[in-house]
Amino acid sequence: MKRNQRAGGLRANGVTLGPLSDAELAAIHDSCLEVLERTGVWVEADEALDVYADGGCSVDRETHVVRIPPHLVEQSIASAPPGFALCGRDPGKDLMLSDGRVSFANFTEGLRVTDLESGQNRVSVKQDVADAVRVADYLDQMDLTVLPVAAQDCEHAPSAHGFEAAIANTTKHVHAPAITRAETKAIIEMAALVAGGMDALRERPITSAGACTVSPLKIPSAVNEVCLTMARAGLPTLWMTMTLAGATGPVTLAGTLVVQNSEALAALTLIQLAEPGAKVIYGCSTAGMDLRYGAAVVGTPELGLIGACINQLARRCRLPAWIAGL
C-alpha cells in the first residue's frame, strides 16, 4: 500500500495553514446546523425525500424542502469512517485516506483536447480518455486517476464509457464522475468483473464515484442516484460542493463556507441515514466569482484560502477531504 506524504503531524518546526480558529470553526458549524434546521435544503428525488423522512427529518413533499435536526447531522458525522483505502488494480498503488495524508489526482471531465497529430483543438472522445489516463498512470505524482476528459462520442452513458477506457489503462484507483443510477451501476458491474466479483470489490474498492450538489442549498437527483448506489454497494463515494462566492453564495468567505458546508452536511446525512457507516469523502470545488466577467476564478489566492478552510471543516468532521486544486 502506498502511504503517501503525511502532513499535519506535531513537529518542532515547519508551517501549517489553518486560517480558521477553533472558535471560528465552531461558529461556522453551528451556523450550518441552524441553516439545515430552519431553512433546510431543497431535495429533488422522491427516494431521497423518503430517506430523510424515515430518518426523522421534517419533509415538505410539496416544496421538496427538507429540514434536518442537528442531532441527525451529528449522528451522521459520528457514523462515517475517518479513513479507508482507495485501492488500485496493483496493490502497490493502493492509497490510504486518513488524517494528515496528502495525495494528488488529475483534474476531471475536460471537454476539449489539442489533437497531437493535427494540432487542432477539438471535442474530446473516448480514445482521449484512454490516452490521458495512461499518462496519469505513468506519473508518480498522481496517486489516483479521475476521468481526465469526457467521452463525448458516446451519446449514452458517457461516464460509463469513460470508466471502461480508464480502468483498462491504469493500475491506480479510478474515480468516475457519474450522473445517473444506470451509469453508476454499469461502473460497479465493470469494476466487479475486474476485481473478481462483488465481494472482492467491496474488500478492495478499485473504484469510487460521486456527484455534485447545486448551490445554494440543493441536493439534485444525481447525488441520490450516484452516492446512494455506491454506498449501498459498499463502495466509497463523495459529494462535490461548488458554491461560487458572489454568485451562488454570499460574497464573504464566512458566508460562502456556511452555504457549501451546509450542503456537504446535508449530503453526508442523506448517505449515512441510508447506509450507516458508508465510506464518504468530503468533496469541494468552491471558488469565487469574477463579478466583472461572470466567470469562476481559479488559480487565485482566494481559492487557496477557501481550500485551506474546507480542509479544516472536513477534519472537524473527521472526514477525508477532496479539494479542487489551485
- Give the three-class secondary structure for 137: helix
Phi and psi dihedrals of 204, rounded to 5? -130, 85
Q: How many domains does the chain have?
A: 1
Q: What are 59-75's pLDDT values in tens digits?
A: 999 999 999 999 999 99
Phi and psi dihedrals of 130, rounded to 5? -60, -45
Q: Residue 14: is its pLDDT beyond 80?
A: no
Report if residue 10 sits inside a domain: no
Average pLDDT over residues 141-153: 94
Q: Residue 302: is its pLDDT beyond 90?
A: no
Residue 220 has a pLDDT of: 97
Angle at 86 between CA 137 and CA 320, to 5 degrees: 115
- Give the three-class secondary structure for 107: coil
Element (H, E) at 321: strand 321-323
Of residues 304 and 276, more confidence is placed in 276
High-pLDDT (> 70) share of the chain, %: 95
Q: Residue 189: is its pLDDT beyond 50?
A: yes
Q: What are 122-140's pLDDT values in tens digits?
A: 999 999 999 999 999 999 9
Residue 326 has a pLDDT of: 55
Residue 9 has a pLDDT of: 54
Helices (H), the chain: 22-34, 46-55, 70-79, 126-138, 158-167, 181-195, 198-203, 221-222, 228-232, 253-274, 301-316
Report if residue 6 sits inside a domain: no
Q: Residue 147: is its pLDDT beyond 70?
A: yes
Q: Residue 10: is its pLDDT beyond 90?
A: no
Q: Residue 100: is its pLDDT beyond 90?
A: no
Report if residue 5 sits inside a domain: no
Report if residue 108 sits inside a domain: yes
- Give the three-class secondary structure for 307: helix
Mean pLDDT for the chain overall: 93
Of the candidates 81, 43, 44, 89, the one whose C-alpha atom is nearest the C-alpha of residue 207 is 89
Report if residue 276 sits inside a domain: yes
Q: Residue 164: is its pLDDT beyond 80?
A: yes
Q: What are 219-260's pLDDT values in tens digits?
A: 999 999 999 999 999 999 999 999 999 999 999 999 999 999
**CATH at residue 261:** 3.20.20.480
Q: How far apart are CA 254 and CA 25, in angstroms?
A: 10
Average pLDDT over residues 178-195: 96
Own/partner pairs, 118-127, CB within 8 angstroms, 24+ separation: 123/152, 123/153, 124/149, 124/150, 124/151, 124/152, 125/151, 125/152, 125/153, 126/151, 126/153, 126/154, 126/161, 126/162, 126/165, 127/165
Task: Read off the pTM.
Answer: 0.92
- Give the three-class secondary structure for 172: coil
Q: What are 20-73's pLDDT values in tens digits?
A: 999 999 999 999 999 999 999 999 999 999 999 999 999 999 999 999 999 999
Residue 12 has a pLDDT of: 47
Report if residue 291 sits inside a domain: yes
Q: How far apart are CA 192 and CA 247, in angstroms?
A: 41
Report if residue 2 sits inside a domain: no
Q: How far apart are CA 165 and CA 115, in angstroms?
A: 18
Cα-Cα end-to-end distance for the chain: 27
Residue 78 CA, distance from chain mean position: 19
Residue 15 has a pLDDT of: 58
Q: Residue 6: is its pLDDT beyond 70?
A: no
Angle at 268 between CA 23 and CA 312, to 5 degrees: 30
Q: Which residues contact 78 (CB under 8 A, 6 or more apart)?
A: none
For residue 26, the enclosing domain spans: 22-323
Number of residues that this document lists for the chain:
326
Report if residue 4 sits inside a domain: no
Residue 83 has a pLDDT of: 94
Residue 30 has a pLDDT of: 98
